[in-house]
């Protein structure tokens, strides 16, 4: 039995906490919302984030981070990307260097353009960091629907330990040494999923979505290679796999937010209606700034940025995307 602490009681974190408890581990969850903590401890549920779950008694929730991380061998950062630095900073001088930090967030830090593993490393330089990513909606993980993900780290021995921690008959975990590619693929696909949702909201069909996902993959590869990732990673679970599920799933909050924007909602209205963090919106701003700095062509990201932040009309933006200068498909 291992002791695993989750910092953040959202839907994916809760689903993975249940998975690890069912794997025979002692699990704690820290959440700043006392109502979430009470719901978990008293009702064995977390209805704020994911309904109809039965949370095992081996999962205990805390409103105090120090109590949640006490004696933990693994700490899972199950918070949105923009909270990663703050939550990592809260762990300073509170954990030993033997504790393995696992991040399940997807994105890069706005302002610094650092990958999340780099952000964590700045705050917790003594600890090994493992990234867990892939096509894995919380709603399906919680139902033991077969799911496959990837773990990556600068220390692959630690990644293999995390692989063993999570593996079970319904949750298969691969390793991948390409940390850059794993992180970039998981971050950029959220932008493309937002754009896919916009197309759905406009009433466009399968032809449009197929084109968008294919050209979106080209953007993932282009920026990913420029940042040092490997092409084969983007054809795997954290690239193509994650792109497919996020662009098409009813559970995708990025696709849903894009759908609402496509039907005429403002960005703020869409965020409010989704009711949870929409990582693709933050990623779009961050990668727009990054692609400008690196002079990387990302036309979908460029157009979506103008829709989200420059109030460009959605149909006008799509027309502009379609009417760009003709070119070869192969970049």
Residues designated catalytic: 189
Contacts of 281 (CB under 8 A, 6+ apart): 194, 257, 267, 271, 308
Place of tokens 């290679």: 225
Contacts of 145 (CB under 8 A, 6+ apart): 170
Residue of 25, 246, 277 whose CA lies nearest to 136: 246
Burial class of 223 by CB neighbour count within 10 A (0 to 12, 13 to 18, 19+): buried
Q: What sign has the CA pseudo-torsion 166, 170, 175, 178? A: negative
Contacts of 23 (CB under 8 A, 6+ apart): 165, 166, 168
Contacts of 292 (CB under 8 A, 6+ apart): none
Beta strands per DSSP E along 8-133: 26-30, 59-62, 74-77, 100-103, 129-133
**From the centroid of its chain, how far is CA 89?**
20
């Amino acid at each position: 039995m291992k002791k695993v602490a989750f910092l953040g009681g959202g839907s994916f974190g809760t689903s993975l906490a249940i998975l690890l408890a069912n794997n025979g581990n002692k699990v704690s969850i820290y959440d700043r919302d006392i109502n979430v903590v009470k719901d978990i401890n008293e009702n064995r549920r977390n209805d704020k984030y994911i309904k109809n779950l039965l949370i095992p008694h081996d999962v205990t929730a805390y409103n105090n981070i120090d109590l949640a991380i006490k004696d933990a061998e693994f700490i899972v950062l199950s918070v949105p990307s923009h909270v990663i630095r703050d939550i990592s900073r809260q762990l300073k001088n509170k954990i030993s260097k033997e504790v393995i930090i696992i991040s399940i967030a997807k994105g890069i830090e706005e302002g610094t353009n650092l990958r999340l593993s780099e952000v964590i490393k700045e705050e917790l330089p003594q600890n090994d960091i493992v990234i867990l990513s892939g096509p894995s909606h919380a709603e399906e993980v919680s139902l033991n629907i077969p799911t496959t993900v990837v773990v990556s780290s600068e220390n692959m021995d630690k990644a293999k330990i995390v692989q063993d921690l999570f593996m079970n008959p319904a949750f298969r975990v691969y390793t991948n040494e390409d940390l850059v590619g794993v992180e970039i693929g998981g971050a950029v696909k959220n932008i493309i999923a937002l754009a896919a949702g916009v197309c759905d909201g406009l009433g466009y069909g399968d032809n449009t979505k197929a084109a968008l996902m294919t050209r979106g993959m080209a953007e993932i590869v282009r920026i990913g290679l420029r940042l040092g990732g490997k092409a084969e990673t983007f054809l795997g679970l954290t690239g193509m796999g994650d792109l497919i599920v996020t662009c098409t799933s009813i559970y995708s909050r990025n696709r849903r937010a894009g759908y609402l924007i496509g039907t005429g909602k403002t960005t703020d209205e869409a965020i409010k209606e989704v009711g949870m963090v929409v990582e693709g919106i933050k990623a779009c701003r961050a990668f727009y700034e990054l692609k400008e700095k690196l002079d990387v062509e990302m036309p979908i990201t460029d157009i979506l940025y103008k829709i989200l932040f420059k109030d460009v009309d959605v149909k006008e933006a799509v027309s502009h995307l379609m009417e760009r200068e003709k070119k070869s498909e192969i970049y």
